[in-house]
Chains A and B, each alone.
Chain A
Amino acid sequence: MPYEMIAALMFGSMLAVMLTGQRMFGVIGFVAVVAAVWLWGDRGGHDLAFAQTIKLMNWFPLMTLPMFIFMGYVLSESKLADDLYRMFHVWFGPVPGGLAIGTILLMVLISAMNGLSVAGMAIGATIALPELLKRNYDKLMVTGVIQAGSSLGILVPPSVVLVLYAMIARQPVTHLWAAGLVPGLMLAVLFILYIWLRCRMNPALGPAIDPEELAQVTTREKYMLLLSGLMPLAIFAVMMVPFVLGYTRLVESAVVGAISALAVSVAKGRMTWAILETCTKKTLAISCMFLWIILAALAFGAVFDGLRAVDFVRQLFMDNLGLGRWEILILMQVSFLLMGMFLDDTAMLVIVAPLYVPIVQMLEFNLIWYGVLYTITCQIAYMTPPFGYNLFLMRAMAPNEVTLTEIYRSIIPFVGVMIIGLGLVMAFPQIALWLPSVLFP
């Protein structure tokens, strides 16, 4: 059987077995080892899977993963974000749609303190969502706001997705993180614009807060609340400044971030033994989920390498389809979006990025810029059914009055906004590349 047939067969059977609902890492690993043993069984094909553990061990920046996850859980479990939420509540409440806009800003700040979208989702779904619903905000809109807003966690630094991409594309994390910041803020602005426009056209979607309720807040308290906004900025600075200046390495900065989040929660009297235990346990659960998927996907990727799948994909895009460089790039993004509907984003990154990165390089596109495009695509994949982390989390955490259909419908306009954002970054690469060019001349 020709190699490209085997590669296609592997991909197809992986998707098919996944439909049975079995745990993803097992399915990916299963297809990988069966193919390896079948292809090279007489020549030690069986140890390809285990050899990947050593590769994983060598990926030093991977150590940031549990750190950023832990940091996110400390933020959400110890309710550190309560004051933040109240700040936005008080300051933006009087504007129509203001609470939703404040929620987006809250998500931006939370994104600056953790590497995934989990913390944002948890805080959004448990603190913001019930409040918004109580104040008669449109259910569809606020459900979408929280899912879209929390997805900024992987674009605004620190970002675990960009760390993974950096390891695969072999690009400096510093540059990638810097490149993610402006597009992240741009997406936030686009979300806010969308909310503002919708609420202007139909104020019932986001009613302003009752003035009487606001009158209970003293002016002094109002300004004191602004101070709470300093906390995330301080954590961000403590983590990032020594890193950008070269005093700490990436993984050490992640540790600094985790420890400072812990310190703040202790100082504020929010940390109890039970909360610490919950954070540590959930960190293990999510870290294991990621690491096992990466390990299995690495085995899958090694077999793909052995089959020379890169050459096959390159041939398909360049020779057979005879496409131009932009057409290929768009096609790659579309294929990522489609796969993102069904596949775990991490698995997708580890399996597909090694195939696409050399092509992007050959087409002479900037790999830092492409990392940002990839991450925005990932953000969309996080929210699009049937498979998406943010969807799962929303389903698990949302109050009962929000139905599954509503969760699915709520993301439609936001996905639209994100596709516009994706288009903007594609058309104007400077949106992503300006900051790294200033920081790292």
Chain B
Amino acid sequence: QSTIRWRLQTYAGASLGAQVAKPAIDMFNAIAGDEMQIDLFYADQLVPTGELFQAMQRGTIDAVQSDDDSMASPTEVTVFGGYFPFASRYSLDVPALFNNWGLNEIWGEEYAKVGVKHISAGSWDPCHFITSTPITSLADLQGKRVFTFPTAGRFLSQFGVVPVTVPWEDVEIALQTREIDGVAWCGITEAHEVGWADVTSHFLTNNISGAWIGHFFSNMERWNELPPHLQVLMTTCFEQSHYYRQHWYWAGEARLRTESKKLELTSIPDAEWATVETAARAFWEEIAAESETKAKVVDIFRNYNAAMDQAGRPYRYS
């Protein structure tokens, strides 16, 4: 019997992918052995990231690691991929929301409609501003050209932020050539890992989201062709990837904030930042009004966050 071969392309470039994708794929390949092998491809290698979804839906690529937003998936939940502003505060929020508060079912259903298997959701890193000039007040956001997620860009533009679209791999160059002033994209760990910390100077501690929601997907037909034990193995290895990422990011956040000399930390006073948080609630209403599914997801976010606030310490420090 011949080896099953899959091609998986990640949204991440080679440097980040070495942390957030490769270990899990290597693990899967080592366990599956002759039965199945996954070939890993980094951002834009086979198809550009914007085409990832179509390529997977058609089967050009068997599986994908991405958030919904970056790969422009044509589903009702796309807007929640990447960073939905202030929906999560800690990295454990995402697995809780998906596994216990019902998001898994919604995602599974939405993707099944378009011929894609949603394998698993994970909690990725927080979203901060990392820029080449300090940000100490909301006014500093005016006119900042920033690389960010589409949804975050849509939200942030009300504060004068100008979202700029460049391929992920070109961000460092765009920073160097001053095409953009910074990113609103990740935490301090990723900024160091991919080299952005070398070409920027400031890190804003206020984040617009505590954890980004990212996923593994596959072509539905391909998934159904797999024997059940390989399905289980793949799900496990991908879960392991999310887990690895959680502690990798989390460990880096504290260490790099205190030890790294590359980025200077600044903050916007809490009272002023509260304006942004209030704006996020209004943004949620706007999104919820767009469709029933979106309303359902926003509702879950709202209930979850209310519960966490009520639970008080240690669940929510405020």
Chain A–chain B contact at Cβ < 8 A? yes
Q: Which of B39, B54, B167, B178 contacts A58 (CB 8 A)?
A: B167
Q: Size class of B's contact patch?
A: 20 to 34
* Contact pattern, B 5-17, Cβ under 8 Å of A = 1, otherwise 0: 0010000001000
Min distance, Cβ B181 to any Cβ of chain A, angstroms:
10
- Contact call B179/A166, Cβ cutoff below 8 A: no
Asked if B46 contacts A302 (CB within 8 A), the reply is yes
Interface size on A, as a range, is: 20 to 34
User: CA A249 – CA B59 in complex, angstroms?
Assistant: 38
A47 to B39 alpha-carbon distance, docked (Å): 19
When each residue 154-184 of chain A gets 1 if its CB lies under 8 Å from chain B and 0 otherwise, what string results? Answer: 0000000000001100111111000000000
| Stretch among B112-120, B168-176, B303-311 lining the A interface | B168-176
| Chain B neighbourhood of A54, CB < 8 A | 47-48, 50-51
Instruction: Indicate whether B249 reaches chain A with its CB closer than 8 angstroms.
Output: no
Most chain A beta-carbon contacts within 10 A, residue among B39, B46, B54, B166: B46
Give the shortest distance, in Å, between A263 (CB) and chain B (any CB). 25
Could you tell me if B173 and A246 are in contact, using CB atoms closer than 8 angstroms?
A: no
For window 1-43 of B, CB contacts with A under 8 Å fall at 7, 14, 39, 41
Contact status B173-A51, CB under 8 Å = no
Contacts of B276 in A (CB 8 A): none
In the bound complex, residues from chain A placing their C-beta under 8 Å from that of B54 are: 47
A45-B60 CB under 8 A given contacts A51-B51, A306-B46: yes
Q: Is the CB of B173 within 8 A of A170?
A: yes
B188 to chain A, nearest CB (A): 22
Is B68 close to A, CB under 8 A?
Answer: no
> Bound complex: CA of A45 vs CA of B55, how far in Å?
10
Given contacts A47-B55, A47-B58, contact A249 B177 (CB under 8 A): yes
- A43 at the B interface (CB under 8 A): yes
Q: Which residues of B contact A302 (CB under 8 A)?
A: 45-47
The reply on B44 being an interface residue by CB < 8 A is yes
B52-97 interface with A by 8 A CB criterion:
54-55, 58-60, 62
Contact with B along A68-94 (1 / 0, CB 8 A): 000000000000000000000000000
B59 engages A44 (CB within 8 Å): yes
Residues in A neighbouring B176, C-beta threshold 8 A: 172, 174-175, 440
Given contacts A47-B58, A54-B50, A58-B50, contact A173 B177 (CB under 8 A): yes
Contact B169 A170 (CB under 8 A): yes
B60 touches A43 (CB 8 A): yes
B-side contacts of A48, CB under 8 Å? 46-47, 60
CB proximity of B301 to chain A, nearest CB, Å: 32
| Residues of chain A contacted by B41 (CB below 8 angstroms) | 305-306
Interface of A is mostly: helix
Q: Which residues of A contact B169 (CB under 8 A)?
A: 170
The answer to the question of A308 belonging to the interface, with a C-beta cut-off of 8 Å to chain B, is yes
Which of A45, A47, A171, A358 is close to B173, meaning CB atoms less than 8 Å apart?
A: A171
Q: Which residues of A contact B172 (CB under 8 A)?
A: 170
- A249, B51: Cβ atoms closer than 8 Å: no
Q: Does A195 contact B (CB under 8 A)?
A: no
Q: How many A-B residue pairs have CB under 8 A?
A: 70
Q: Is A170 within 8 A of B170, CB to CB?
A: yes
Q: A55-B44, A172-B173, A250-B177 are in contact. Are A44 and B50 (CB under 8 A)?
A: no
Of the candidates A171, A172, A246, A250, the one having the most CB atoms from chain B within 10 angstroms of its own CB is A172
Nearest residue, chain A, Cβ from B41: A305
* CB neighbours of A55 from chain B (8 A): 44, 47-48
Which residues of the other chain, B, contact A175 by a CB distance below 8 angstroms?
176
Q: Which A residue sits closest to B222, measured CB to CB? A: A43
Chain B: CB-nearest residue to A249: B179
Query: Is there contact, CB below 8 Å, between B173 and A166?
Result: yes
B177 near A305 with CB under 8 A, answer no
Q: Which residue of A lies closest to B50 (CB)?
A: A54
Q: Kindly provide the distance from the CB of A62 to the nearest chain B CB, expressed in whole angstroms.
A: 12
Residue in A51, A171, A246, A305 whose CB lies within 8 Å of B55: A51
Identify the closest chain B residue to A44 (Cβ). Answer: B60
User: What separation, in Å, do the CA atoms of A250 and B166 have in the docked complex?
Assistant: 14
A305–B54 alpha-carbon span in the complex (Å):
19
Known contacts being A43-B62, A44-B58, A305-B41, is A51 close to B177, with CB within 8 Å? no
Q: Any chain B CB within 8 A of the CB of A60? A: yes
A170–B298 Cα distance when bound, in Å, is 39
Name the A residues within 8 Å of B62 (CB-CB).
43
Q: Which residues of B contact A306 (CB under 8 A)?
A: 7, 39, 41, 46
Cα–Cα distance between A249 and B58 once the two chains are bound (Å): 37
User: Which residues of chain A come closer than 8 Å to B51, judged between CB atoms?
Assistant: 51, 54
Within the complex, what minimum Cβ distance (angstroms) separates A366 from chain B? 15
* A167 partner residues in chain B, CB cutoff 8 A: 170
Residue of B nearest to A173 (CB): B177
Report which of A43, A45, A58 forms a contact with B48, defined as CB distance below 8 A.
A58
- B-side residues, CB < 8 A to A, are 7, 14, 39, 41, 44-48, 50-51, 54-55, 58-60, 62, 166-167, 169-170, 172-173, 176-179
Residues of chain A having any CB pair with chain B under 8 Å? 40, 43-45, 47-48, 51-52, 54-55, 58, 60, 166-167, 170-175, 246, 249-250, 302, 305-306, 308, 358, 440
Jot down 18 A-B pairs with beta carbons below 8 A, ordered by A.
A40-B60, A44-B58, A44-B60, A45-B60, A51-B46, A51-B48, A51-B51, A52-B48, A54-B47, A54-B48, A54-B50, A58-B44, A172-B173, A174-B177, A175-B176, A249-B177, A250-B177, A358-B14
Given A58-B44, A170-B172, 16 extra CB contacts under 8 A: A44-B55, A44-B58, A44-B59, A47-B54, A47-B58, A51-B48, A55-B44, A58-B167, A166-B173, A172-B176, A172-B177, A173-B173, A249-B177, A305-B41, A358-B14, A440-B176
